[in-house]
Each structure stands twice: as C-alpha cells, then as structure tokens.
Structure 1
C-alpha cells in the first residue's frame, strides 16, 4: 500500500459564495480608500519644483529707475539660472551696462545655449532698454592663446571661438578676454604673434563680434601689461575694425601706470592714445587696487577703499573720452547686490559732481557709505560661517554622546 505524503501547508478554508463576494467588495473598497488617501496626500504635498518667472511676471516696474547718463556704468553680474537672468540682475543694481560669462568660466566645455534662453535674453534686453554696445562679456579664465604648445593652444582657441559664437547668438557686439601667457616657453613677441593669429582665425569663423583685449597687471609671463604689447597684437590683426581694448584700472596701477591723480590719469590715457589709439578703447573695468603701484599683483578692491582712492574714479566718470562705452565694476563682495548698487550710484553721483567746493566732503561721505556696507557684509558673512561651524560641532557632539550612551 502506497502512503500519500501529507502537505505541510495548511489547507485553505472553503468559503461560501456569499462570503467570498462580501470579501471581494471589502477589498475593492479598501483599495479605493487607499487610492483616495494617496491622491489627497499628493494634493497636500506636491513635488517641490523651482518655478521660473515668466516674462509676464517680470515687470520692469519692480526694478529701480536707472539714471540717464553718457557714462554707462555697471557690474559683472551673475548668469546663474540662465544668461537671461543677467539682464534682470543688472537692472536690479541700477546698472546702465553689464558684463557676464556666457558659459562656465572654469570649464572647457559647457552645454550649448538653448533657444529659450537666447530668446528670453533678447526680450529682456529690449524690455529693460539695454544696448548690446554696453554689454561686455568676459572670456573664460582657462584661455591662453599665447601658449606655444600647439595642442594646448588649439584647446584654448576652441573654447575662445565657442564663447564668441555664443555672444553672436545673443546678439552681442563685444567680447573681452585676457590675452594669455608665454608660460615661460616662448618670447613675448612669439606669443603676441600667436594671439593675433588666433584672433584672425576667430574673425573668419564669426560674422560681427569685436574682440576686446584686456590689459593685465604684469605678473609672471603674462602678456598685455604694457600698451606696447597691446599694440603689438593689434598691429598683426587683419581686420582692425573688429578688435579693441578694455582698460582695467587695478591692472593699470599694478603694472606701473600711476592713475591715482588727475594728472596721472590724463597722462596715462594720453599715452594710450599715442601708443594704441583711443579709437580702440571699447570698455573699462573699474576696480580699486589692494596692491601698491607697480606691484604686478592683480588684487581688486572696492571703489575708494584701496590704493587708488575715490578721486581717480571721479576723473574717469567725468571724462568725455570714457563716454558711451561699458564701465564695469569687478569689485569684491560681488554676491552682495547692495554694495554694487551703492558703488554704481556713487560713480553716477561723481560723474555729475561739478561744484569743486563740494568734492572733498562728497567723496568722503560716499567712501564712508561704501565702507560701512562692506564691513557690514563681512561681519554678516563671518557670523554666518560661525553659526554653521557651531551647528556642525553641536551635531557632532550630540552624535558622539548618543554613540556613547548606546
């Protein structure tokens, strides 16, 4: 006789038809309630998404009124969230000009500009009344067109050309860059020729952009600290209608051009006109200097708080030779809009200061206001850092305590 093997699983109870139907109805009702609960929960706690302001929401009425002046004063503003936001950020600080990075300044490659960003940038430029002549994009810090290493120079050129093409996509006219360095492996004359060659090739690959060479402080093997070096590059550029110069006040002073007095400023600009030509002056960077005259150190300081002093900026923004070109602040505390707002309003005030008897008192008052803002910002920053450190320390101590108790 064969004995059947008994299953170890318990036998399922047999349900009556009516009981089975009742259980089915209960289960269905339970599922419906669960679904309703999930939908209600989703309605109460929607996914958090960063909402972008539409063009209708961005009203020019919400921004400070900008003064009308032939001196186009502004700042290098952030492009975080999209290049179109630079227009808004410039308007927010009362700027009549501005600078921007058209892509990350510390990466060789960046995603291309999308059509939506380009169109939004152009719409905002029109809405806020900015002219492309008063926008001075800044090139990547990685670019070195003077590098004698062909492979490295080509990499720089590709990044350089990409910047230029982005500017043209945005409808801009100017592009400012640091000329480069010999890296100790070539003469300055050789590197100057390489820079000019790159500019010529870039002109052929673009349609209208004007390439603006920035003067430098003169550290190490860097090219462009002397007007003769800027002239050397321009002399070798084939299309001279599409090349220019941006003079940085901090760089001038660090390179040995004493512009701290009115006579010094006049002498320096006259020398620039004689060597390079004023027709090539397409923009300026307005920065005070932490470092001394001829130090060759590129150390920016807030307006009136450095070695240059505030008087030179009054000379610059009341000089007819600097009218109708972008005059861009690159001063510290760039993340504090109230400081740039104050510096821009200070420069606009100085440009209209015609009563010599009021100059010393006004300048001192303006410097005091900037100093107060900078100190307040620095104090707040230190306080914030200390709070963060304290919070992290307390959390660590609590974690160690819990560990010991366990």
Structure 2
C-alpha cells in the first residue's frame, strides 16, 4: 500500500555505488519513497549505456520496499536549451540530446523528465517560447512513454518559464498536449515573485492558467533570497525566506497528494541534509536540524 506524502530528494548515481542500486538504497536510507536522478553528468553529454546502470536490480529493490516507479523523476541536463532562438547549432544539439534523455528514461522505467525551459540569450522571450514549442513538437514525434515537466524558473538572466502565463502559452500551443506538464519549484517560484504565504491563491491561478492535472512533480526547496529577487539560490528547509510552515503546507496538500515532492536543498558541511529534512517534514515539526552548522 502506497504511503503519503510522496517525498524524496535528488540522489547521486555513480559507479562506486553501483549506479541505480545506490540511488534507490540512498533514498530508502533517507526515509524517502521517491527520488530524482540525472542519468549522467548535468554539464556534459557523457553517458554510460543504460545496460550498465543495474535497472533490473533497482526495480527489484523498489518492489521489495513498496516504492512505485511511477513516482520517480529524472532531471534533464543543464546543457539542453531548446529555447535558444539565435544559435541553430545549439538548438539542434539540444533537441537531439533531449531525445536521447527521453529514451534513457524509457529504458530505466522512469516516466517524468524535468526540463528547464531554457533561455533566450540574445533573442527575446517570445522567440524563445516559440522555439521551445518547436523543440518539444520535434521531440514528441518520437513515441516515448516519458512525459516532460517544464520547471518553473526564477527569472535570472534570460530564462523563460518564469510565470504561469509563459508556461500556459507553451502548454496550449504544443501539439502533444497530454505528454507535457510542469514542475513547481518552490524556491524558483518565490524568487520569481510568487508569495507562497498565499498558497491557496497560487493554486487558483494554477487552476485557471495551467490546470491542476498538469502538475507532475514538485521541487520542494527553501530560498536564500527574498520574494521576487530572481536569484535562484536554494536553502535548507526552514532556514530560508519561504519557511518551514509554507513548505509543510504544500507537502501535505490533499489536492496534490499523488504528486511526488523532491528536495534539492544544499549539503551541510558536505553532508546530505535529506534524512533530517524528510524526518522533520513527515513529523510536521521543524527541529532546527543544522543549528550548529548554519
């Protein structure tokens, strides 16, 4: 029987820990019932063949611990920018590499791929959004099982996808609408100007402009910066400007009960914070877990 809420973190996948075996074991040790991974380094295109990642063993461990593979998430690498309207070579590379990432997700058996919408660099936002739609349409010509979740961005630099109006435009214009959703990142939303003290009002805007059914995953992060700062600097749960209570409210929101929530908070003294943060969130009580380190 599935346990709620569905919460986990971004975990590593490396040779030392036997790739996906280590990923799922780390999540279980942290008290999580989901996790997110990169399928390879986020800053380059070097990738191990999926046949070497111990996929079958990962699924055996998932089954043994009653974790649902449909709740798992992959994050696309940062080098993909299918919103780039000024460099055809960058756009072409990004589309082809995104196709490869989608295939890798299908191979692993993970059905949610979080993608940063990209940036317009020397173009303009409207050009970028149209290139994003064009790129998604090209990727969706292939028959992948995996869905793409466009991540809400903070608005730093020339990013797009920084508000629900931009995301709604993409969701409405893309051809394969059922294969596209969004990832709500709480730090990015705060830094883009969405006041999470007013969560019910934000939900109403999601309903009106996006559709609640389009929310495929949350990134649950506090923020080091104030509202509307456009900075994108994640903070540990309870130590930032969003605050523990607001993040707790989102985690336990019955309207998003089935949606996985992923922590991407910073390590503390080179140690993973996730076990302590998950425990606090599940206990609904902030314990100031890093009080001697912050």
Question: TM-score range, shorter-chain basis?
Answer: over 0.9
CA contact (8 A) 1:133 1:325 kept: no
**CA–CA distance in structure 2, aligned partners of residues 94 and 236 of structure 1:** 40
Task: Give runs of aligned pairs for residues 268-347 of structure 1, distance below 5 A.
Answer: 268-333=202-267, 336-337=271-272, 339-347=273-281
- Is it true that 1:147 corresponds to 2:84 in the alignment? yes
The DSSP-based 3-state class of the residue aligned with 1:371 is coil
Match of 2:99 in 1: 161
Match of 1:90 in 2: 27
The DSSP-based 3-state class of the residue aligned with 2:239 is coil
TM-fit CA distance, 1:116: 6.0
CA contact (8 A) 2:116 2:151 kept: yes
1:226 to 156, 163, 166: 163
**CA–CA distance in structure 2, aligned partners of residues 250 and 237 of structure 1:** 26
The DSSP-based 3-state class of the residue aligned with 1:200 is helix
**CA–CA distance in structure 1, aligned partners of residues 161 and 66 of structure 2:** 34
List runs of 5+ in structure 2 lacking aligned partners: none
| TM-score relative to the length of structure 1 | 0.68
TM-fit CA distance, 1:151: 1.0
TM-fit CA distance, 1:109: 3.3
CA contact (8 A) 1:164 1:209 kept: yes
CA contact (8 A) 1:71 1:322 kept: no
TM-fit CA distance, 1:331: 0.2
Match of 1:251 in 2: 188
The DSSP-based 3-state class of the residue aligned with 2:133 is helix
Please give the per-residue CA displacement for 1:113-133, whole angstroms capped at 9, x wherever unaligned: 225622223223223322122
**CA–CA distance in structure 1, aligned partners of residues 12 and 41 of structure 2:** 11
Match of 1:184 in 2: 122
**CA–CA distance in structure 2, aligned partners of residues 142 and 131 of structure 1:** 29
How many pairs were matched up? 289
Q: What is the RMSD computed on CA atoms of the aligned residues?
A: 1.7
**CA–CA distance in structure 2, aligned partners of residues 153 and 322 of structure 1:** 34
Task: Give runs of aligned pairs for residues 191-230 of structure 1, distance below 5 A.
Answer: 191-230=128-167
**CA–CA distance in structure 1, aligned partners of residues 229 and 202 of structure 2:** 17
The DSSP-based 3-state class of the residue aligned with 1:369 is coil
Which of 110-119 and 229-238 deviates more?
110-119
TM-fit CA distance, 1:87: 0.8
| TM-score relative to the length of structure 2 | 0.93
Match of 1:369 in 2: 289
Match of 1:121 in 2: 58
TM-fit CA distance, 1:307: 0.7
TM-fit CA distance, 1:272: 1.5
The DSSP-based 3-state class of the residue aligned with 1:189 is helix
Comparing both chains, which one has the higher relative contact order based on Cα–Cα distances under 8 Å and sequence gaps of 6 or more?
Answer: 2
Q: Which structure is higher in strand share?
A: 2
